Structure 1
Amino acid sequence: GNNFLRWVKLLYTNPKANVLTNNIVSNPITLERSTRQGCPLSPMLFILAIEPLAMTIRMRTDIFGVQLGDQEHRLALYADDLIVFMTRLSISIPKLIQQMEVFGQFSGYNINDSKSSILFLNKDERLNPIMQTPFINAKEGFVYLGVKITPNIDA
């Protein structure tokens, strides 16, 4: 509640840091964005900040997930790694990109396109994507949290 917010504000109002290089400590540097690297609170604050995006993706009726049994799966989120599962791509991809842009406008968090991949499971789409996206077309697969994700479901 309010106590939590007060503590976070206390920790992150006018934060400063020093750089240690060759045992020489720099003058204080004002940190203007983000959280301190290595701060144990940083991952938790990020989770609180990114959850509205995850909730919105889950609730949108125009972003279609993958149906497994009676459950529709749209995304998995671990720290700042997000993986999205979609079908009806000609509708879902533009809506996802639009939602991420809206989220970026109000949060300041933007997806790094050069680190973002799209993997089409359908071979024809993989070789000839149905649309251009800002993401890397990972035709052979990609690594997510240390696990190789490939288009070959049997792999």
Structure 2
Amino acid sequence: MGIPPTFIGWISTLYTDVSSEVLVNVFLSIRIVIKSGTCQGCLLSLILFICTTEPLAQCIRQDPMMSKVQIPGRSREETRILAYLDDLNILCHNKCSVERTMWHTQVYKVVSGVMLNVSKSTCLAMGELRDLESLGVSVLCKWVKIPRVEFNPKLSRRMAWEKKEPKVK
């Protein structure tokens, strides 16, 4: 991404030898050394998260083996991934794309040490994506909202967008 060494030095200074104490009621715990992650409430946390997940997003965007999904609306734009703040929404149109997504997240885990938090992940199966259990993907949700646009197997792309389009104008 071309991050200047000076900036990396500043971040290293802020996150080297970091410790914390936990206040429960009126009792303060002993110091806990923070070995990884970012400090909750730190203004840099979101920026650092975006910087560390962007390589994963780029790999998915550029993977020619993954099919694109058309975004609702008049633009006819197609994409594989939607990133909004600390949410990554990977749009898979077929089983091959799900397999490629799993592969990319495994490579990302090996390279960065960051694992996909399955408990915070949802999968909405639409179209031919009905049998994903064989890949270890559990399909639990019936619908999902990706920045305020509802995706629902019973609701067509056009209908989902038309529900929001008047509010956008």
Q: TM-score over 0.5 for the alignment?
A: yes
Change (3 A) 1:57 1:19: same
Q: Aligned-pair RMSD on alpha carbons?
A: 2.3
Per mean C-alpha deviation after superposition, the further-off stretch among 141-150 and 52-61 is: 141-150
- The alignment's TM-score, normalised by the length of structure 1, stands at 0.83
1:79 aligns with 2:79: no
Q: Return the alpha-carbon distance in structure 2 between the equivalents of residues 72 and 36 of structure 1.
A: 36
1:141 aligns with 2:169: no
Identity across the alignment (%): 30
Change (3 A) 1:141 1:27: same
Change (3 A) 1:132 1:80: farther
Q: Return the alpha-carbon distance in structure 2 between the equivalents of residues 136 and 81 of structure 1.
A: 19
Specify which of 59, 78, 89 is matched with residue 62 of structure 2: 59
Question: How many pairs are equivalent?
Answer: 151
Q: Specify the SS of the correspondent of 1:53.
A: helix
Q: Return the alpha-carbon distance in structure 1 between the equivalents of residues 31 and 133 of structure 2.
A: 48
> 1:1-155, aligned counterparts within 5 Å?
1-67=4-70, 71-87=77-93, 89-122=94-127, 125-126=129-130, 129=131, 132-138=134-140, 140-144=142-146, 148-151=150-153, 152-153=155-156, 154=159
CA shift for structure 1 position 19: 1.1
8 Å CA contact 2:132, 2:138 repeated in 1: no
- Larger RCO: 1 or 2 (CA < 8 Å, sep 6+): 2
- Any idea what the Cα deviations from partners look like across 1:9-34, whole Å, max 9, x if unmatched? 00001111111122333232100110
- The alignment's TM-score, normalised by the length of structure 2, stands at 0.77
Q: Return the alpha-carbon distance in structure 1 between the equivalents of residues 26 and 132 of structure 2.
A: 55
Per mean C-alpha deviation after superposition, the further-off stretch among 23-32 and 102-111 is: 23-32
8 Å CA contact 1:16, 1:28 repeated in 2: yes
Q: Return the alpha-carbon distance in structure 2 between the equivalents of residues 25 and 125 of structure 1.
A: 50
User: Going by fraction, where is strand more abundant, 1 or 2?
Assistant: 1
- Any idea what the Cα deviations from partners look like across 1:73-119, whole Å, max 9, x if unmatched? 111112332111222x1321111111110001111111122332222
Q: Return the alpha-carbon distance in structure 2 between the equivalents of residues 117 and 52 of structure 1.
A: 21
